[in-house]
Structure 1
Amino acid sequence: MATSKAISPFRLCSLLRLQKDPALALELFRSPIPNNDAKKPFRYPLLSYDLIIVKLGRAKMFAQMEQVLHQLKQETRFAVPEALLCEVISFYGRARLPTRAFQTFESIPSFRCKQTIKSVNTLLNALLYCQEYKKMREVLLSINEYGRPDACTYNILINASCVGGDMEQAWATFNELLRNGVCPNVVTFGTLINGLCLNGQLQEALKLKEDMTRDFKLKPNVFLYTRLLKGLCQIGELGWAFRIKDEMVRNKVKLDSAIYNTLIDSLFKVGRKEEALGLMGEMKKSGCKPDIVTYNVMISEYCREKNFEEAYKILDQSEKLKPNVVNYNMIIGSLCREGKSIEANELFQDMPRRGCAPDVVSYRMLFDGLCSFMHLKEATFILDEMIFKGYAPPSRSINEFVSRLCKEGNFQLLSAVMTGLGKGNFLNEDIWKMVVSLICRMEKPSESFELFDTLMVP
């Protein structure tokens, strides 16, 4: 995408911002002026570096991002903002590349930039994402070289303890925060409450919410409410969950789809269907649009009721949101369990037209369903397609399928299946035992030898 004429630094930034394709954006960044017009070096503005580095990092084009960073390091006209290098550390953290994240942190001074507690926090968070707890402890040993730990630092450390299930250490870190005169924020309490909910300590979580509002004058946010509400629903405390919902309304905290989905799902599970449908109506009236999870909840309920007609209707309604494979798998699995494997196969075959490709779970459920109800020809086709796509069928399912073919004496299908299994390297000792046993039981030796030759996979 080299330009035909020179563009200004300001124009380059505008074009980079507009370009959605990171590869094309990089080509534009590298060639802002034609080669034959390069009378003097192009003066890249800092913003152009920022834009291209973020685009490449989000696209995980790390080799190209490093090339741009190397070029940026050579610039002497400006110091690189710490925030940009924190972005790079975060990109490596999300990509589970902790060593690269640590190397970027250590290289910050070479960009004429000072490491502060902000970049330390970013590194700690990246290491936590990668579950590099030992490396986190190493960073903490020298943290005072970069500044005084702040609320963000302690929030990350509390989260690390909660994720590891060590609530005693989480509380110890919280108490250290208070001793050091650092003011906890809503994220601090939300992180602790999340940990308590994960560990089933709902009473302690509810008390902490009250302490937060009374002693620290902080208002719960939607994340904190959502975590509490989900925890209460998980232990069947729907009364408490609805009191949390009412409190959110009083405090003018907007209820999102996650809140409604959790409550609707919980009501369905305890058989309070009318209340669930009523809440669904309330959700729509409040202006909160159903999302894919909402449709998953509805489909799951109708499948449980074996009301497949309504499940199909919900699936059709969700097409505007591009239903995911989970939606289809719920219906396919339920149909197969009810002996409607041919109907499940029809839905399965229709998935690509609806813009959703079947996954390995789709194939396995349908294959097992077709086998269970002796639709052997259809099952053979699904098995062949599964192997072609590189999906591994479970050994138990294959063994049962071959056993059924042997009992049926369907030598034509058996031959096709053995060939496919051989190509996919899925033949095992049990399968050969069944086939040899079948051949030995055949009355005519000539037919048995002919069958054996047919089943021998090249």
Structure 2
Amino acid sequence: MNALKPVSPFRLCSLLRLQKDPNLALSLFQNPNPDACSKKPFRYTLLSYDLIISKLGRAKMFNEMEQILLQLKNDTRLVPNEIIFCNVIKFYGRARLPDHALKVFDEMPSYRCQRTVKSVNSLLDALLNCRRFDKMREVFVGMEKYAFPDTCTYNVLIHACCLNGCMDDAWVVFEEMRRKGLEPNGVTFATLIKRFCVDLKMKEAFKLKEDMVRFFGLSPNAYAYSSLIKGLCGVGEVNLAFELKEEMVKNNIKVDSAIYSTLISGLFKVGRKDEVSGVLEEIRINCCKLDTITYNVMINGFCKLKDFEAAYRILEEMADTGCKPDIISYNSIIGGLCKDGKWSDANDLFQDMPRRGCIPDVVSYRMLFDGICSGLEFKEAALILDEMIFKGYVPHSASINRFVDGLCQEGNINLLSRVLKSLGKGNVIDREIWMMVISKICKEEKLSIVPDLVDTLVGPN
């Protein structure tokens, strides 16, 4: 029988690309030729390192990724590309691990890799994801040791200022960028426009849109249009929002489902729900598939209008079109029904969720619990509470206090005792509940049950 042909460095890269499971990819990388008799070390390539590091980083297997990085550091045959470290920094930024990102950046020279503006920008972006604005300033000030800032650098800094709501600082950065001979691009203006739209300063946002076209020769991108349309809908200027959508079409910028969802939400907000069907028809004509977000916007809009029959129809339409309703779909209806005092209908939908392929979450339970308590159906509320505690969920503290107060007012000491035992299991009995219960017991002269209640409130030793 012929022996298996050893895996070559080139073949290893091909196998790593094909392997979807990061654990199996790691095993393959660490031992590409398990049956080989030769003691000669395997000669890894930069590409194989890049592939396995990327797979581990995406899977957030950071301990394993760091082991591979250490191996790369010790493999002195190779001089790693900067992109490898840019990716690692990005992975740490997405995982909200800013100190790890900083450490990798600082250690790049020990890997024989020179830092340039690309790795600086990756670090700034990672720190931005982690909201470490103090460190961003520190990195920017010290970057002249190894790189000069480019437009991307300033875009990240402007984004940080906008996230902080510091528009004056954003303009200072913008002017510094211009003084250094760097031209703003579409991303620069889209970031500034979004901040104005978030603050509902639509006059300033449209002035900036005009300036970018007139003075810089730049056309707004989809991101800028999305912000403007959302801002217009936020201030009730739905007609202008639709005009802007038409401008997008004229400029050959794709109108996606997120834009249509914003427009639909805007129509509901100004009481023009009858026009929603026209938007849906346009979506279908433009071959833009309705997604869960768009359906959820409609469900939420109908629930706010207390048109629950329409909301249920949307839920059924989702299932019919193969777009599976998610937890937000159900919670929107449950929350709307509970606010309208229809807790029984809400409970029916809640109980039907598992059959529909969606498991209630803590928000589902809390909304239903509050709705049942508002309906003064304390026995039903106690059952929901038991189920919540069993699943590791607890109502909001204010909801618990209102529930216990309602039980005290009703005078059902047996149910009160049962509820307190459930709350004790969840370790959510506070001083306010204690004082409320003791006061009630003293008024009712039910002192004989005090020892049992004390045991419940104090809990096991």
User: Is TM (by shorter chain) over 0.5?
Assistant: yes
Change (3 A) 1:215 1:425: same
**Match for residue 95 of structure 1?**
95
- TM-superposed CA distance for 1:324, in Å, is 2.5
**Match for residue 71 of structure 1?**
71
- For residues 26-61 of structure 1, what are the alpha-carbon distances to aligned partners after superposition, in whole Å with 9 as ceiling and x for unaligned? 122112111663431112222221111111111211
Return the letter of the residue paired with 1:252: N
Q: What is the CA–CA distance in structure 2 between the aligned matches of 1:357 and 1:54, rounded to whole Å?
A: 33
Return the letter of the residue paired with 2:257: S
- TM-superposed CA distance for 1:330, in Å, is 1.2
**Match for residue 338 of structure 2?**
336
Change (3 A) 1:428 1:168: closer
Q: What is the CA–CA distance in structure 2 between the aligned matches of 1:371 and 1:450, rounded to whole Å?
A: 25
Q: What is the CA–CA distance in structure 2 between the aligned matches of 1:196 and 1:402, rounded to whole Å?
A: 46
Is 1:270 the counterpart of 2:274? The answer is no
SS at match of 2:295: helix
**Match for residue 236 of structure 2?**
236
Is 1:449 the counterpart of 2:459? The answer is no
* Of 5-14 and 419-428, the range deviating more from structure 2: 5-14
* Of 200-209 and 117-126, the range deviating more from structure 2: 200-209
Change (3 A) 1:200 1:368: closer
**Match for residue 349 of structure 1?**
351
* Of 100-109 and 174-183, the range deviating more from structure 2: 174-183
The alignment's C-alpha RMSD in Å is: 2.3
Query: 395, 400, 403: which is aligned to 1:401?
Result: 403
Q: What is the CA–CA distance in structure 1 between the aligned matches of 2:35 and 2:109, rounded to whole Å?
A: 33
Q: What is the CA–CA distance in structure 2 between the aligned matches of 1:175 and 1:80, rounded to whole Å?
A: 36
**Match for residue 30 of structure 1?**
30
**Match for residue 176 of structure 2?**
176
- TM-superposed CA distance for 1:292, in Å, is 1.8
- TM-superposed CA distance for 1:450, in Å, is 5.7
Q: What is the CA–CA distance in structure 1 between the aligned matches of 2:370 and 2:200, rounded to whole Å?
A: 37
Change (3 A) 1:402 1:145: closer
**Match for residue 249 of structure 1?**
249
Change (3 A) 1:183 1:386: same
- TM-superposed CA distance for 1:187, in Å, is 1.0
SS at match of 1:80: coil
**Match for residue 226 of structure 2?**
226
Return the letter of the residue paired with 1:95: A
Query: 415, 418, 421: which is aligned to 1:419?
Result: 421
Contact 1:376 1:405 in 2 (8 A): yes
In the TM superposition, what are the counterparts of 1:29-428 in structure 2 within 5 Å? 29-34=29-34, 37-319=37-319, 320-428=322-430
Q: What is the CA–CA distance in structure 1 between the aligned matches of 2:309 and 2:266, rounded to whole Å?
A: 23
Contact 1:265 1:276 in 2 (8 A): no
Return the letter of the residue paired with 2:341: G
- For residues 154-183 of structure 1, what are the alpha-carbon distances to aligned partners after superposition, in whole Å with 9 as ceiling and x for unaligned? 111111221222222222222222222222
Q: What is the CA–CA distance in structure 1 between the aligned matches of 2:349 and 2:38, rounded to whole Å?
A: 60
- For residues 222-269 of structure 1, what are the alpha-carbon distances to aligned partners after superposition, in whole Å with 9 as ceiling and x for unaligned? 111111111122122223222211111111111011111111111111
Q: What is the CA–CA distance in structure 2 between the aligned matches of 1:312 and 1:5, rounded to whole Å?
A: 61
Contact 1:341 1:373 in 2 (8 A): yes
SS at match of 2:218: coil
* Of 364-373 and 196-205, the range deviating more from structure 2: 196-205
Q: What is the CA–CA distance in structure 2 between the aligned matches of 1:184 and 1:306, rounded to whole Å?
A: 47
Q: What is the CA–CA distance in structure 2 between the aligned matches of 1:328 and 1:139, rounded to whole Å?
A: 45
Q: What is the CA–CA distance in structure 2 between the aligned matches of 1:450 and 1:186, rounded to whole Å?
A: 71
- TM-superposed CA distance for 1:325, in Å, is 1.8
Return the letter of the residue paired with 2:166: D
Change (3 A) 1:430 1:145: closer
Contact 2:385 2:394 in 1 (8 A): no
Return the letter of the residue paired with 2:407: L
Return the letter of the residue paired with 1:64: E
- Gap runs ≥5 in structure 1: none
* Of 364-373 and 319-328, the range deviating more from structure 2: 319-328
* Of 146-155 and 212-221, the range deviating more from structure 2: 212-221
- TM-superposed CA distance for 1:423, in Å, is 1.7
Contact 1:98 1:130 in 2 (8 A): yes
Contact 1:128 1:136 in 2 (8 A): yes
Change (3 A) 1:403 1:139: closer
SS at match of 1:246: helix
Q: What is the CA–CA distance in structure 1 between the aligned matches of 2:214 and 2:409, rounded to whole Å?
A: 73
Aligned length: 452
Contact 1:101 1:123 in 2 (8 A): yes
Q: What is the CA–CA distance in structure 2 between the aligned matches of 1:360 and 1:101, rounded to whole Å?
A: 33
Change (3 A) 1:125 1:432: closer
- For residues 116-162 of structure 1, what are the alpha-carbon distances to aligned partners after superposition, in whole Å with 9 as ceiling and x for unaligned? 11111111111222222222222222322323321111111111221
Change (3 A) 1:378 1:146: same
Return the letter of the residue paired with 2:359: A
Return the letter of the residue paired with 2:234: Q
Change (3 A) 1:172 1:395: closer
Contact 2:6 2:36 in 1 (8 A): no
Contact 1:221 1:253 in 2 (8 A): yes
* Of 293-302 and 431-440, the range deviating more from structure 2: 431-440
Change (3 A) 1:431 1:43: same
Change (3 A) 1:415 1:32: same
Change (3 A) 1:440 1:142: closer
TM-score by length of 1: 0.92
- Gap runs ≥5 in structure 2: none
- TM-superposed CA distance for 1:433, in Å, is 4.3
